[in-house]
Structure 1
Amino acid sequence: MAADYDEVRSDVKESQERSLEALKSASAPDTRRVVTELDEADALDEGLTPGGEIVSEELIVQVVPQAADEFTCSSCFLVRHRSQLVRERNGQSYCTECEG
């Protein structure tokens, strides 16, 4: 007797039908409930850092004004020393890296 190797085995076919029936009978999640759960999770994450630590203190940063021998590059917006000034046109300064 010749065997048809392309035919699906009976045990595989039965398991596929059972899993299909299980998927059909499973209920889809309620969209309102999912949105509510996501909103609650976002509310809990507001005070967390990327590492998961809760930060309740304010950061204090001292701002130092630009010195007389410094300039702000009009291309990269970094504060550079005057020795890195390459070009100055119409009141805009450019550094060696941006003009390089």
Structure 2
Amino acid sequence: MATDYDAPRKSEEELSEDSIQELQARRSDKSSGVVDEDETEAAEGFELPGADLSGEELSVRVLPRQADEFTCASCFLVHHRSQLAYEKNGQQICSECAA
């Protein structure tokens, strides 16, 4: 059952003064706190460490290097021309590797 910690707390005398009807209404309202969730659907999002994923296939669309991109000779990643730090002997180096 959810508890509102900001609500004023009742003293022992006030708790003992709760009516029987109010207590019975709280007892019959137990289902209001239950969350209806599909366990199998929730479990699909969890990855277990060491899980064997060798049977899984991924589909990724690979684009060729664009005219405004270059491949860094140090990290071999494709970067935008704005990240080119320098070019030496035909080898292009990105600003991250040059730092």
Q: TM-score, normalised by structure 1?
A: 0.43
Structure with a larger share of its residues in helix: 1
Q: TM-score, normalised by structure 2?
A: 0.43
